[in-house]
Amino acid sequence: MRLSAILVNYHSLEPLAGTLAALAADATGLDPEIVLVDNSPGDGTAETIAARFPAVRILANTENLGFARAVNRGLESTRGEFVLLLNPDCEPRPGALGALLDHMTTHPRCALAGPRIEYPDGRLQLSARGYPGPMSFLFNRYSLLTRVFPGNPWSRRYLLSDWDHATMRDVEWLSGACLVARRAAIDEVGPLDPAFFMFNEDVDWSRRMNEAGWRVTYVPAARVVHRVGASRRRVAPRVVLERHRGMIHYYRKHHRPNPLMTALVSALVMTRAGVMLIENQLRPR
């Protein structure tokens, strides 16, 4: 088995069906095993997908395990030499999987390869980035400070926005929205850190791969459309809180211990979480 694809579902039936159809079309001739890890028991998604896509193997959880633990369950139940992580709202363009697998085959020290991720209108999503530092938690992709001061040095370094993202390049980390991983590297470095419920697990995984001597590479010849909608709709408060707890866990895990700086970063991150919770409540459902 050369390729295993793992998708994690949480109340995502409508985009998931389109993603599975696009995946099947692009995977023609690759004969991948496709596994859906269902984090939303009782909403009918698993039953609908089983009827419409009988080749998809479904692992049903009795509760929402979060992204990292769900992916790890998928990793344990698959055997492909390469593993595709694909969000249920990401649709590969024709040739995307082939380009990613070709890169992995010709670059045996590449652990993770990610595509050019685009919005439906073709605009670039900045999915290849630098490691977040203390200031990146304030000047990140979605922050108000990045929108107000887009040219600040912390945002530019974190988002790699001084680079046109048109050429292949080794990077510090890649978005887990669409990612091909090498099984041998996973066996050496380990799966996703289950302490991350959702968000930041891809940063941590990429960093651990890099620190173990593996390469993490952005491959723009592969293109994927990401139909992001969460930024405009209300999400569960737990999603906001877990995202920010993940930021704190990442900082404590990868930065030199300094009680004062850790306390300051934690306070700033949770203050940001409070602001985003208020903003979230003002969005439409």
* Within-domain flag for 192: yes
> Cα(170)–Cα(110) distance, rounded to whole angstroms?
9
Location of structure tokens 């697990």: 201
Task: Answer yes or no: do 40 and 105 share one domain.
Answer: yes
Number of domains, the chain: 2
Residues 235 and 95 in one domain: no
Asked if 235 and 170 sit in the same domain, the reply is: no
122 with 82, same domain?
yes
Q: Is residue 153 part of a domain?
A: no
132 lies in some domain: no
CA distance 49 to 36: 9
Q: Of 228, 257, 277, at which residue does a domain stop?
A: 228
- Print pLDDT tens along the chain (285 aa): 699 999 999 988 889 999 999 999 999 999 899 999 999 988 999 999 999 999 999 999 999 999 999 999 999 999 999 999 999 999 999 999 999 999 999 999 999 999 999 999 999 999 999 998 766 666 666 665 666 677 778 788 888 989 999 999 999 999 999 999 999 999 999 999 999 998 899 999 999 999 999 999 999 999 999 987 544 566 778 778 888 888 888 888 988 777 777 787 778 777 777 877 787 677 776
pLDDT at residue 275 in the model: 73
Contact present, 244 and 198 (Cβ < 8 Å): no
Q: In whole angstroms, how far apart are CA 3 and each of 80, 158, 204?
A: 5, 31, 23
Predicted TM-score (pTM) of this structure: 0.90
Do 170 and 258 lie in one domain? The reply is: no
Contact 61, 73 (CB under 8 A): yes
CATH number at residue 118: 3.90.550.10
CA distance 221 to 100: 8
Helices (H) and strands (E) in the chain, counts: 10, 12
Tell which of 228, 255, 271 closes a domain: 228
Same domain (yes/no): 14, 122: yes
Q: Residue 153 has what pLDDT?
A: 81
The distance in angstroms from the start CA to the end CA of the chain is: 42
Quote the pLDDT of residue 157: 85
Domain containing 242 equals: 231-285
Judgement on whether residues 279 and 195 belong to the same structural domain of the protein: no
Task: Give the pLDDT score at 264.
Answer: 76
